[in-house]
Amino acid sequence: MGEAIGQVLPTAIGVALSPLPIVAVVLMLVTPRGRVNGPAFVLGWIVGLVVVGAIVLPLAGGLDADEGGAPADWVSALKLVLGLLLCLLAVRQFRGRPHAGEQPQTPKWMAALDTFTPGKAAGTGALLSGLNPKNLLLAVAAAVTIAHTGIGGGEQAGAYAVFVVVATLGVGIPVALSIALGERARELLDRLEGWMSQHNAAIMSVVLLILGVKLIGDAVSGFSA
C-alpha cells in the first residue's frame, strides 16, 4: 500500500491546489452561514472524490490493471490520454490568464454564495471535486494508479482514502482556520482569497503541466516495461 500512496501523493496535491474551490470556500466562510456552509462544502468535496474512487477502483481492478508486475497496456494508454488532456488544460489555463492590469473574472455563481443553504454548499463541493474536469481527471488517474499496483481491495481503499485526505487539504485548511480562529482568521482568509484569485490561471497551468508530463512519462515507461 505504501507504494500506491507514494505514487498518488503528487496527484492528490494537484487536486488540493485548486484555486477556484479554495476561493469559493473562503468566500463562503465570510457569509452569514459560513460556519455551517464551509464544513458542508468540505463534506461534499470529500463525497465527490469518494464517488469517483468507488466507481473507478472496481472497474480498474476488474480489468487486470497489472500484468506480471508491469501495468497493463490499457493502463498506460489511459495515463497517456489523461496526461495529454492535462497538458491541454494547462495550455488553456495559461492562455486565459489575466494580463497586466486586468482583474481576474470569477464565475457568476460565486456572487450568490451568501444565499447558499448547507445542502447547496455540499452539492457545490461535490461538483467541484468529482465533476470538475481537472479534478475528475486527476481522481481517475489516482484510482487507476492505485489499481495497477496489484494490491488487495482493502489496501486500495486505504490508499485512495489517503489520496482523498491530502486532496481535501486545500479546501479543508481554510475551514479549520475559520473554526479555530473565528474573526481573527478573516484577514488571513481575505489575503488568501485575493492571492488565489489573482494567480489562479498561473497556479493551475503549472500544476496541470507537471502532472500531465508525469502521467505521460509513466505511460511511456509502462509501454516499454
Question: What pLDDT is attached to residue 176?
Answer: 92
Nearest 10 degrees: Cα torsion 153, 81, 51, 22: 120
Which residues 6+ apart lie within 8 Å of 190 measured at CB?
26, 30
Q: What does the pLDDT read at residue 160?
A: 95
Q: What is the pLDDT along the chain (225 residues), one digit of tens a residue?
A: 888 899 899 999 989 988 889 988 988 988 888 889 999 999 999 999 999 999 998 887 666 655 555 566 777 788 888 889 989 988 887 887 766 666 666 677 777 888 899 999 999 999 999 988 888 988 998 998 888 877 888 899 999 999 999 999 999 999 998 888 877 778 888 887 777 777 777 787 888 888 889 888 888 887 776
Which three cell numbers, joined as nine digits, stand for 184? Answer: 481573527
**pLDDT value of position 16:** 92
